[in-house]
Amino acid sequence: MPKKRASASSTKELPPCHGPKLHVFQHQNSPIKWMERLDIDREEGEETEGYVFRAKIRTREYAIKVFKFYNPLSSKYFWGPLLGEDTALETAAYYTDPFFAECRAYGRIKEATKKRSLKAQIAIPCHGFIFLKENDERTLSKLGIDFGIARIDSDFQQNTEGGWRVRAIVKDLAPQDTGVDKKSVGKILRGIRALNKHKIYNMDIHLDNFRNGQLVDFGSSWTEPHLLLDAQHDHAARNSKLSDLEKFDEMIEDEEIQTDVRARPNPKYCRKLRAWG
Ligand SMILES: Nc1ncnc2c1ncn2[C@@H]1O[C@H](COP(=O)(O)OP(=O)(O)OP(=O)(O)O)[C@@H](O)[C@H]1O
Ligand SMILES: [Mg+2]
């Protein structure tokens, strides 16, 4: 990894753009004891945003999601036509990098739970972001972790907040069970609707992103204000905002959960009502 590292220790909140922000983890300077990977059920060759570890900091265990470096040029085919081809790479990154997506979603969740307008249960609690120290990077590299440095654009990376330092988000450690079943789906759907009401769109509702009936992954989320949502035509923006409800129903069908709970009108009910009418 290149030697030059920006001083990131003074960064208190991210991302540095309009909208919600995530705070730095309060024990950012404490040593981390890295334990096993939690994201092991992946399919062979699956492209991922990063790695999730069980880890101990001071006396408590957490789940730490370590993000790969992000090159906004890799998604320019998508944001270029919407935001404009000459949009600054850092601006594009604030709205497309999975790390910033999580920062923005958790920033809004924190604001809303503080104001008591959102109950915290739908998302696994988050404790803030950290920049890994060199010894942590060395430890993880020895475990074969690839931070994706080969894919980055050095000029862009050099000038980002944190520079060459690897970014991570600290969350509560959840049990490995998804907790999605016929008893919990009603509450989960209410939680998703509440997130949407607070203008957080997870955009990746599926079974593997739940633990203990709570969402663990906001890496694909869009939280308003969001430049991509603003740039979409009305119809596309409406579809983006409905994505969580559609994916929730797909999850119920795909996982064959025995329930009538649906986010959108349930075709089975509609048929029954027509038959009764
Ligand atoms: N807080 C947590 N506690 C326990 N396990 C977790 C936690 N966060 C994530 N995991 C495990 O790690 C897996 C990957 O986490 P996550 O979905 O956040 O990463 P990802 O890189 O976005 O994955 P993908 O892109 O495949 O969705 C989860 O499916 C879950 O099994
Ligand atoms: Mg995931």
Write out pLDDT tens, residues 31-65. 999 999 999 877 666 778 899 999 999 999 999 99
* Token reading at 76: 């320019």
- 210-240 burial, b at 16+ Cβ within 10 Å, e below that, comes to bbbbbbbbbbbbbbbebbbbebbeeeebeeb
- Band (pLDDT 50/70/90 cuts) for residue 175 is very high
Give the number of other Cβ atoms within 10 Å of residue 241's Cβ.
17
In degrees, to the nearest 5, what angle opens at C-alpha 52 toward C-alphas 185 and 49? Answer: 90
pLDDT at residue 277, as a whole number: 56
- Residues with Cβ within 6 A of ligand 1? 38-39, 48-50, 52, 63, 65, 124, 171-174, 208-209, 211, 216-217, 219
Give the pLDDT confidence of 102-111 residue by residue, as tens digits. Answer: 999 999 999 9
State how far the Cα of 126 lies from the Cα of 175, in Å rounded to an integer: 15
Residue type, 217: D
Average of per-residue pLDDT values in the chain? 93
Cα 167–chain centre separation = 13
* pTM for this entry: 0.93
State how far the Cα of 166 lies from the Cα of 178, in Å rounded to an integer: 28
- Helix, strand, or coil (residue 76): helix
Taking the CA of residue 172 as reference, the ligand 1 atom at the shortest distance is 1
> Percent of the chain at pLDDT above 70?
91
Give the number of other Cβ atoms within 10 Å of residue 98's Cβ.
21
State how far the Cα of 96 lies from the Cα of 248, in Å rounded to an integer: 22
Give the pLDDT confidence of 241-250 residue by residue, as tens digits. Answer: 999 999 999 9
249 φ/ψ angles, rounded to the nearest 5 degrees: -65, -40
Distance between Cα 53 and ligand 1 center (Å): 9
CA separation (Å) from 148 to 44, 47, 153? 17, 11, 11
Residues in CB range of 253: below 8 A, 6 or more apart: none
State how far the Cα of 17 lies from the Cα of 31, in Å rounded to an integer: 30
Contact 37, 53 (CB under 8 A): yes
For ligand 1, pick from 170, 211, 212, 247 the residue to mutate: most ligand atoms within 8 Å of CB: 211
